Chains A and B, each alone.
Chain A
Amino acid sequence: MDSHSRAPDEGPPGGFRPEYRTELPADVERIPDLLEELVRRGRAAGFPARRLRFNFRVGVCEALANAMRHGASEEDASVRVEAAFSAARIEVTVTDPGGGFDPSRVPDPTTPENLTLSTGRGVFLIRKLMDRVEYNAVGNSLRMVLYARGGPAGEAK
């Protein structure tokens, strides 16, 4: 369940107010520590543990890895992460300095032909695990929302 917002601006989509912001150098080795920090904040806000440990952690890890690998290849490049936490919902935006991509053209990694490929599961997992997934028009900023009780209608993923 995701929507692709085609906002005309280049910044992160949506209008959430992040209480946590960081610029992470584009080094995948730094991802685990940032994930721990985000999970810690989610836990402190009272967000459900399993959704934090699984949906949130996997989704954000994939988003960060994608941003770094595909959107931050220059030396000294960094990825911006913004997040807001409450017991009912968590939002994270990941923005990279790259040229973006078209998320509507990501192939389905679960088809028989694609199943044996070793890449191509990141965006799929983000979409499966997060309740709302929005890319900006350029495709270099991704906003993810996870609800404590699943989608806005209450159904859990």
Chain B
Amino acid sequence: MTFQVQTEGDVTVVAVEGQLIVGNRQELKQTVLDALEAGSRQFLIDFAGTGYIDSSGLGVLVSLSKKIREHGGELRLANLNDDLRSLFELTKLDTLFQISKSREEAQASF
């Protein structure tokens, strides 16, 4: 899994490519935490480039969401495909996260 980070206005956008699974999640977590420390408060994770996430990947998102909220920030997820949406619905994490259909929709919602 790789990811690209860019800033779009006040929003830190993380575009994930590949599979967010098992061993490769720490770097993503650290990148977001670093941005949080540096003052970022609005985060968007774009899943357009990935079709797969496992429960530990979900766990990373949950703990990031908590940390971001603790700092008074907001996390949105965008471009989940059908499989990803199913995972979020099965685990009821769709009630925990703000999920948008697209980057534009997410940006507009901040």
Contact = CB atoms under 8 A, between A and B. Distances in A.
A110 B91 contact: yes
A117 interface: yes
B55 A116 contact: no
A82 B23 CA distance: 23
Given A28-B23, A29-B23, A32-B21, A115 B58 contact: no
A31 B23 CA distance: 10
Interface in A1-52: 28-29, 31-32
B22 A28 contact: yes
Contacts of B55: 62, 65, 119, 121-122, 125
B54 A118 contact: no
B59 to A, nearest CB: 4
B83 A54 contact: yes
A89 interface: no
A122 B22 CA distance: 12
B3 interface: no
Contacts of A117: 59, 62
A58 B87 contact: yes
B102 interface: no
A137 to B, nearest CB: 25
Contact of A31 (B21, B58, B87, B93): B21
Interface of A: 28-29, 31-32, 53-54, 57-58, 61-62, 65, 109-110, 115-119, 121-122, 124-125, 128-129
Given A65-B55, A109-B91, A110-B92, 11 more contacts: A32-B19, A61-B54, A62-B54, A115-B93, A116-B96, A117-B62, A118-B60, A118-B63, A119-B59, A125-B91, A128-B90
Interface of B: 19, 21-23, 52, 54-56, 58-60, 62-63, 66, 83, 86-87, 90-93, 95-96
Top 5 A-B pairs, shortest CB-CB distance: A118-B59, A121-B55, A28-B22, A110-B92, A118-B63
